[in-house]
Amino acid sequence: MKNVGGTALLYRSKDLVNWEFRKPLLIGDRETSGIFWEMPIFVRVGDYRALIVCEVPGRASYWVGTWKDELFTPLHNEPRRLELFNHLLSPTPIYQNGQTMAMGIIPDERGSKECWAAGWAHLYSLPRVFSADDAGHLFQRPFEGVNAGSDPLPSLANLPIEEGRITPLNGISGTALRLQVKLHRGNSESVSLLLRRSPDGQERTEIRYHWEVGKVVLDRSASSLNTRVRRDMQETTYFPPTPDSLTWTVYLDRSVLEVFFDDRAAFATRIYPTLKDSDGVALVCRGAGAMVESVTAAKIGRPV
């Protein structure tokens, strides 16, 4: 079809060898969902179905809707982005114990010479469990099984964050960590989580949340001293289900960073610190009164 966007096609087979073309499953709009789709998946999520596609050039989008008599009816017309920052590509579905999960590709963000020297590029994400609400939002949380084999670190509770001062999470550091940080706004304007931070702050990756406008900032501008890797700042919008409260679940594994917001929204990305002591974790806020309800952490181990 001419002058339309990307299109997912519906086929049917009785033996998975011979296939019969039925019709277009969904036809996209050039302006909102791109002109070409790659690697579509069509999965059951609770009472609904979700169509997830990878737009060219490299953006994972989805529609949630109903499925009856070979008719997919989305609950929303325009696509929604699978990730807050769209770094995850080509999700592959997994069904286990009544759960719908997916693993995707987290692209490398080093220069080609860096990848060649390393001998590899790209990797798979953690498996994510999908759920959907009646408004067609696709929620994501990490699969609990990935926590097996982790070594717990000291927990923290009722920790105030002083305005403008770096608040280190004492006893919590490393390059392979799982963190869950529960925050309350108080009177603060924004709160930031600093990861892979060197003691002098020369290297650090910052995840910042601005409460009033619901803005999420991923700041990798100081994430590495290596000028041949991607170092940038990106922002998007997210509003938590409970105003003035936010829970970050973070998986950090060397160059890989995966972050979940309230077990609803997520993003994956890559960072490449160069300093041996870039392993600290800290918090900082703008405006007074932010409070950490709790921090639980563990060193990531090999699943058993």
Query: Tens digits of per-residue pLDDT, 244-256?
Result: 999 999 999 999 9
In this structure, which amino acid lies at residue 109? E
Residue 285 has pLDDT above 50, yes or no: yes
Residue 294 has pLDDT above 80, yes or no: yes
The full set of domains in the chain, from first to last, is: 7-145 (2.115.10.20), 148-299 (2.60.120.560)
Token pair 């080509």 in the structure block, residue? 90
- What pLDDT, on the 0 to 100 scale, is given for residue 1? 63
- What pLDDT, on the 0 to 100 scale, is given for residue 184? 97
Query: Tens digits of per-residue pLDDT, 33-42?
Result: 988 999 999 9
Strand partners, 8: 26
- Contacts of residue 117, defined as CB under 8 A and 6 or more positions apart, other chains included, come to none
**Predicted confidence band at 263 (pLDDT cuts at 50, 70, 90)?**
very high
